[in-house]
């Protein structure tokens, strides 16, 4: 209730306070309208009579109009949007009007007094308007860079030089008062040029109106000097007689137009290129005129200073342009996020290297490292893109700190980096690559998280591996993919395994191989460590290529995935593995067969249909087949992986997480996934028999946690009897490796049906 009573009262009081201001503003602009109309009529009458006053009353009319302009400027000081300017411009206009009144009194001999009084009143006008103009433009002046101050100084000197030629050459010898008047005109010209030589993106409206008014007054004063010295011209007198009142009117209006700002067109660079040239041209003109006639020493001095300032500004502008060019070049060649070189610059350097080799200017080798991060997508998705960007920046800094000054680090895009090693062979490049990999072993300290991230690094060396930039990067990419597929830190390019040089030919040959049964499955037995019997086998795909010999999947699987032909290959593998499993079971061997399925196949909606068709065709129970999925793909595409695994588990097919431990999967994630088996990464097993106690404790903890979740634990990479025995004592369920048996074709594997033990052929 109290608020309801107070609110209307407050609103009324505010409105009551605003009303006088509005009325005063309307009255003020009405006054300006009347003055403007009077000045327009005065200009017309003066023009019709050739610049002469046909009546003694006419000069008094213009004096009254000028006085009205001054009074309008001073009125309402407390509500003016620019009160500080009013203090200067108002008295200045009043001084000029008083000076004109004194001049009229003297000319009409109504009063007799010293002419110096009128001159002093006119002279007082200039310092006041100059101060007001500087205050109006102070924001732009204060924000000027030192190079812009040189621009302003050059413009001021050039304007002063030109103005002094007109003022001093046109005027007859003058006394001290006349000299001060001419100096005031030159100073006003210099200040006007300095204030408006450069402008910011937004310029105060009032300052522009005031500047225009002062430019009009300056032009009128110079025209008056020229007209008085070089002859009586009616047109010149008419123009001069109307310009001064117009300039004063604009100056008065300037303090009332408000604090609005207008946006200037962004052409500063062109203007700054033009400014020194215009100033220099004006100064040269003055010097040329002096060569054919006498020029005042002041004008000559100002012209010389203008030329000097223009020369300095041209030098500074050249330096700035060079700095801007270098900055833009660096920006165009630098990765915005990390600050290292970008892909464009990396290829530019490689192109330069191959161009020098082609021209015979260099024969030094060059190595290129293709660095691809492991598990970055998982971190990016888990903690957000901001954390991912922070990790990329920290990683780039760490990589750069592990390189020599002569090495070049660049970001190729996403989580991929490239390193150019000048004058480096394969051995030196491998050393650098291992050092880069080792520098990533320590966790990164980010906001609220400390992730550890690894990398797969591929090496290619020019000119042995490639003769062009694109081919060199592609070869390093092939080597990186090999390192990632084989769970290695570093791999070098080998032409023998690079079948992607002619992908269309290889793809057609692969299609033919599927149709003509050139593909084969090798099988590696898995030993049950509790019973000492054969529990199952892992099917490993091979291609018996007619030209290239026996090829592993790393050599052709990527080509099939990129071409979108992976479904046909997966269908062949699943069908052949099911067929072989049915043959063994028919001999009384109750074995399971594990097959690796690529991420592309797991995304395919046809996978479940393929598996169902193969099981039905060969009369196999679903439990006889195990599908292995790599850990990295499970964690990078968790939702897609869950859907695929649930579909397979619904059939009764076993699901195994392959290469467990190579990524950053927590066993807690597996509680929500239909997983039956964990295959430990080789890094857990290789060298286990000679490792420290901490490694064994870690392996035991992993096995125990897996068992607590109801998972079967498989260890691969068993190379000796000591490792096999240790795994058995640690509680591992199954094991496979060269110590048990190498992968072999099915006809080279022999089993004892009763004990189901593997017998080497």
**Whether 621 and 707 share a structural domain:** yes
**Whether 479 and 507 share a structural domain:** no
Instruction: Look at residues 457, 472, 498 and tell me which one is the last residue of a structural domain.
Output: 498
**Whether 435 and 532 share a structural domain:** no
Determine the structural domain holding residue 420 and report its residue range: 341-498
735: three-class secondary structure by DSSP:
strand
**Whether 522 and 477 share a structural domain:** no
The residues near 244 (Cβ < 8 Å, ≥ 6 apart) are: 216, 217, 220, 221
Integer angstrom CA distances of residue 275 from 207, 279, 392: 21, 6, 46
Residue 218 lies in a domain: no
**Cα distance from N-terminal residue to C-terminal residue, the chain:** 102
pTM as predicted = 0.47
593 or 518: whose pLDDT is higher?
Answer: 593
Give residue for tokens 């690079």. Answer: 498
Instruction: Look at residues 464, 498, 532 and tell me which one is the last residue of a structural domain.
Output: 498
Q: What is the pLDDT of residue 240?
A: 64
Q: Answer yes or no: are the C-beta atoms of 368 and 419 closer than 8 Å.
A: yes
61: three-class secondary structure by DSSP:
helix
> Poorest-confidence range of 521-530, 638-647, 656-665?
656-665
Q: Which CATH number belongs to the domain containing residue 646 in this structure?
A: 3.20.20.450
Give the up-direction half-sphere exposure of residue 509: CA atoms within 13 A in the CB hemisphere: 18
pLDDT category at 498 given cuts 50, 70, 90 is: low
**Whether 538 and 450 share a structural domain:** no
Q: Answer yes or no: are the C-beta atoms of 55 and 46 closer than 8 Å.
A: no
Residue 553 lies in a domain: yes
pLDDT category at 179 given cuts 50, 70, 90 is: confident
Q: Answer yes or no: are the C-beta atoms of 387 and 449 closer than 8 Å.
A: yes
Q: Which CATH number belongs to the domain containing residue 455 in this structure?
A: 3.30.70.270
Angle separating helix axes 234-254 and 2-48, nearest 10 degrees: 170
**Whether 351 and 477 share a structural domain:** yes
Q: What is the pLDDT of residue 288?
A: 46
**Whether 592 and 732 share a structural domain:** yes
d(CA 46, CA 34): 18
**Whether 429 and 513 share a structural domain:** no
58 or 521: whose pLDDT is higher?
Answer: 521
d(CA 51, CA 137): 35
Residue 87 scores a pLDDT above 90: no
**Whether 651 and 509 share a structural domain:** yes
Closest to 459 (Cα-Cα) out of 366, 395, 397: 366
pLDDT digits (tens, 9 = 90+) for 537-591: 999 999 887 777 787 887 777 777 766 678 888 899 999 999 999 999 998 888 8
Residue 220 lies in a domain: no
731: three-class secondary structure by DSSP:
coil
**Whether 564 and 478 share a structural domain:** no
d(CA 387, CA 729): 42
d(CA 157, CA 340): 46
Residue 625 scores a pLDDT above 80: yes
**Whether 507 and 609 share a structural domain:** yes
Phi first, then psi: what are they for 53, rounded to 5°? -80, 120
Exposed / middle / buried, residue 422 (Cβ in 10 Å: 0-12, 13-18, 19+): middle
Closest to 368 (Cα-Cα) out of 496, 468, 454, 488: 468
Q: Which helix (H) or strand (E) holds 305?
A: helix 297-333
d(CA 271, CA 290): 28
**Whether 463 and 601 share a structural domain:** no
Tokens at 160, concatenated: 């002063």
Instruction: Look at residues 482, 498, 514 and tell me which one is the last residue of a structural domain.
Output: 498
Residue 482 lies in a domain: yes
Domain total in the chain: 2
748 or 363: whose pLDDT is higher?
Answer: 748
What single-letter DSSP state applies at residue 334? B
Mean pLDDT to the nearest integer, 733-742: 91
Q: What is the pLDDT of residue 227?
A: 67
Q: Answer yes or no: are the C-beta atoms of 529 and 747 closer than 8 Å.
A: no
Q: Answer yes or no: are the C-beta atoms of 652 and 622 closer than 8 Å.
A: yes
């Amino acid at each position: 209730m109290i608020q309801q009573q107070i609110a209307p009262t407050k609103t009324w009081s505010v409105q009551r306070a605003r009303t006088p201001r509005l009325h005063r503003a309307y009255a003020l602009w009405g006054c300006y309208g009347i003055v403007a109309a009077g000045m327009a009529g005065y200009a017309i009458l003066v023009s019709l009579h050739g610049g002469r006053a046909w009546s003694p009353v006419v000069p008094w009319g213009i004096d009254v109009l000028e006085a009205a302009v001054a009074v309008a400027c001073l009125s309402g000081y407390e509500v003016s949007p620019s009160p500080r300017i009013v203090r200067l411009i108002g008295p200045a206009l009043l001084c000029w009007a008083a000076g004109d009144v004194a001049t009229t009194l003297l000319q009409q001999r109504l009063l007799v007094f010293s002419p110096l009084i009128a001159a002093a009143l006119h002279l007082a006008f200039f310092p006041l308007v100059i101060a007001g103009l500087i205050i109006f433009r102070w924001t732009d002046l204060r924000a000027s860079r030192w190079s812009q101050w040189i621009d302003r100084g050059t413009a001021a000197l050039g304007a002063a030089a030109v103005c002094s030629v007109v003022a001093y050459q046109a005027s007859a010898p003058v006394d001290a008062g006349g000299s001060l008047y001419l100096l005031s005109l030159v100073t006003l010209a210099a200040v006007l040029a300095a204030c408006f030589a450069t402008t910011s993106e937004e310029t105060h409206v009032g300052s522009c109106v005031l500047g225009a008014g002062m430019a009009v007054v300056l032009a009128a004063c110079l025209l008056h000097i020229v007209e008085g010295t070089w002859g009586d011209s009616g047109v010149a007198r008419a123009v001069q007689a109307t310009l001064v009142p117009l300039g004063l009117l604009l100056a008065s209006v300037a303090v009332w137009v408000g604090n609005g700002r207008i946006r200037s067109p962004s052409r500063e660079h062109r203007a700054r290129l033009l400014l020194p040239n215009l100033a220099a041209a004006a100064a040269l003109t003055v010097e040329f005129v002096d060569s054919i006639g006498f020029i005042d020493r002041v004008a000559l001095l100002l012209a010389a200073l203008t030329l000097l300032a223009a020369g300095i500004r041209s030098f500074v502008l050249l330096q700035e342009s060079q700095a801007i060019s270098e900055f833009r070049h660096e920006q165009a060649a630098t990765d915005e996020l990390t600050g290292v070189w970008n892909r464009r610059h990396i290829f530019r350097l490689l192109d330069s290297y191959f161009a020098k080799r082609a021209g015979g200017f260099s024969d030094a080798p060059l190595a290129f490292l293709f660095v691809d991060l492991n598990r970055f997508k998982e971190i990016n998705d888990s903690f957000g893109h901001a954390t991912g960007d922070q990790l990329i920046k920290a990683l780039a800094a760490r990589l750069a700190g592990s390189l020599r000054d002569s090495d070049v680090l660049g970001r190729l895009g996403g989580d991929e980096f490239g390193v150019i090693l000048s004058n480096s062979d394969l051995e030196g490049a491998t050393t650098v690559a291992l050092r880069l990999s080792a520098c990533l072993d320590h966790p990164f300290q980010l906001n609220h998280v400390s992730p550890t991230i690894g990398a797969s690094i591929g090496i290619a060396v020019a000119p042995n591996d490639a003769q062009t930039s694109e081919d060199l990067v592609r070869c390093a990419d092939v080597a990186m993919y090999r390192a990632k597929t084989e769970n290695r830190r570093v791999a070098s390019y080998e032409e023998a395994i690079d079948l992607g040089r002619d992908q269309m030919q290889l793809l057609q040959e692969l299609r033919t191989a599927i149709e003509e049964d050139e593909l084969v499955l090798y099988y590696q037995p898995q030993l049950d460590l509790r019973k000492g019997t054969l529990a199952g086998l892992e099917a490993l795909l091979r291609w018996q290529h007619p030209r290239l010999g026996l090829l592993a999947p790393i050599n052709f699987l990527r080509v099939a995935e990129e071409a979108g032909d992976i479904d046909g290959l997966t269908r062949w593998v699943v069908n052949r593995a099911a067929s072989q499993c049915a043959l063994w079971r028919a001999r009384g061997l109750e074995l399971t067969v594990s097959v690796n399925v690529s991420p592309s196949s797991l995304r395919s909606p046809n996978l479940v249909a393929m598996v169902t068709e193969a099981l039905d065709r060969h009369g196999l129970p679903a439990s006889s087949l195990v599908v292995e999925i790599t850990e990295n793909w499970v964690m990078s595409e968790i939702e897609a992986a869950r859907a695929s695994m649930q579909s397979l588990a619904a059939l009764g097919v076993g699901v195994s997480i392959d290469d467990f431990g190579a990524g950053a999967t927590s066993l807690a994630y597996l509680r929500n996934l239909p997983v039956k088996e964990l295959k430990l990464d080789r890094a857990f097993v290789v060298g286990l028999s000679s490792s420290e106690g901490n490694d064994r404790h870690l392996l035991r903890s992993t096995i125990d946690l897996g068992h607590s979740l109801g998972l079967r634990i498989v260890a691969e990479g068993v190379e000796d009897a000591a490792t096999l025995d240790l795994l058995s004592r640690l509680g591992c369920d199954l094991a496979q490796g060269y110590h048990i048996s190498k992968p072999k074709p099915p006809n080279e594997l022999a089993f004892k049906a009763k004990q189901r033990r593997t017998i080497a052929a």
